[in-house]
Amino acid sequence: MKIYLVGGAVRDRLLGLAPGDRDWVVVGATQGEMEAQGFKAVGRDFPVFLHPDTGEEYALARTERKSGRGYRGFVVDADPSVTLEEDLQRRDFTVNAIAQDEDGTLVDPCGGARDLEARVLRHVGPAFSEDPLRVLRAARFMARFASLGFTVAPQTMALMRAMVASGELDTLVPERVWQELRRALASATPSAFLATLRACGALAVVLPEVDALYGVPQRAEYHPEVDTGLHQEMVSDMAARLAPADARIGFAALVHDLGKALTPADVLPKHIGHEHAGVAPVIALCERLKVPLDHRELAVMACREHLNIHRLFELRDATVVELLTRCDAFRRPERIPWLATVCEADKRGRGGQQEADYPQGRTLVRLHQAALQVSAREVVREGMTGVQIGEALQAARVVAVRQQRQTDG
């Protein structure tokens, strides 16, 4: 039995990045031998074990053979005779097909170290096309590594286009699509995820509502980038900058403008009412991908309210309280800072505005905090009905917002 460190831990060390989870491959062992040493079997589709002390994952070296459509259509062979090189050959990208033995020596049969130096994401071999999930993984890796100068190898992009054209991506289940999207939105450059998927035609398959934004014009005085799809890429990157690794804010930023794809051609480049038109496609996307409820609720709020928050200084005090009430901000106060951040990303995610100030976000948070200070005990009088209590609370909150605005000057 021999054990090697593999995959992302080796890749990231060679890139000089902070190490994440460590994965290990075991050559020359059986499941019984692993369990006899205290390892706990957890793999459902192939033999993976948890170390009895560290909890890290150890997988038996294996090969895979395509047996059907989709990312689960494989027959796995984890016989002790499978070599390390055979295990590495079945991996997706050369940069992930590097192993390191206990003395630090690299085993790199696919040239992954060379591609790391060249900043190229390249598929290991033709078996790449057998797993449609790898198209999304390529895009997700670009979201993480584009800022380091990585590009997708032309041969890999051509293979990805062929995979999309074959219909293989139709076999992906929503949970796996969401998992890759979530990780991309928590990366440094989500725009690279969108651009990579669009370059191979996959964006129209997995996120058609977002793909539909490309080519839709906006008014140049507000959006120098003009193209709504390009604006969306800029907003997604700004959200990642303002709220690093926060996929909830990233997702709300991603879908805030979906209504612009529905604007009638004779109205363009104006988008009157797009914030309301966008709610239905946001909900449809969330239902299709089984997006978690907290992500979905913030996304709907951001879509519906972002123009109101941009115009915050024009809103009446009562209108501000109505907005907060619509957002359930008095029971869920954490939502307002999230919403403010999404709206700031929208405002700054456009040409020439990347360093602009966004006082609306800070003011919204202050007004919300002021309204939160209103206590039911202060406004409830004996004999009041439920409706009267609600009206009294609302009126007191309006006063609190007005006073905060006067304090702000």
Per-residue pLDDT tens digits for 171-182 = 999 999 999 999
Check whether 184 has a pLDDT greater than 70: yes
pTM: 0.90
Q: Where are the domains of the chain?
A: 1-118, 371-409
Tell me what pLDDT residue 68 has: 55
Amino acid (one-letter) located at 373: Q
Tell me what pLDDT residue 76 has: 76
Task: Return the percentage of the chain with pLDDT > 70, whole number.
Answer: 97
Check whether 72 has a pLDDT greater than 70: no
Could you tell me the pLDDT band of residue 392, with boundaries at 50, 70 and 90?
A: confident
Residues with Cβ within 8 Å of residue 373, at least 6 apart in sequence: 400
Q: Please tell me the distance from the alpha carbon of residue 249 to that of residue 239, in angstroms, as a whole number.
A: 7
Residues with Cβ within 8 Å of residue 251, at least 6 apart in sequence: 181, 182, 185, 291, 295, 298, 299
What is the rounded average pLDDT of the residues 203-230?
95
CA dihedral 98, 155, 187, 198 (to 10 degrees): -160
pLDDT tens by residue, 209-220:
999 999 999 999
Strand partners, 203: none
Check whether 321 has a pLDDT greater than 80: yes
Check whether 71 has a pLDDT greater than 70: no
Check whether 31 has a pLDDT greater than 90: no
pLDDT tens by residue, 85-131:
999 998 999 999 999 998 999 999 999 999 999 999 999 998 899 89
CATH number, span 1-118: 3.30.460.10
Could you tell me the pLDDT band of residue 20, with boundaries at 50, 70 and 90?
A: confident
Check whether 73 has a pLDDT greater than 70: no
Tell me what pLDDT residue 197 has: 98
Mean pLDDT of the chain: 93
Could you tell me the pLDDT band of residue 340, with boundaries at 50, 70 and 90?
A: very high
Report the sign of the C-alpha dihedral through residues 200, 206, 212, 214, in that order.
Answer: negative
What is the rounded average pLDDT of the residues 219-245?
96
Q: Please tell me the distance from the alpha carbon of residue 324 to that of residue 388, in angstroms, as a whole number.
A: 19
Total residue length of the chain? 409
pLDDT tens by residue, 363-386:
999 999 999 999 877 777 766 777
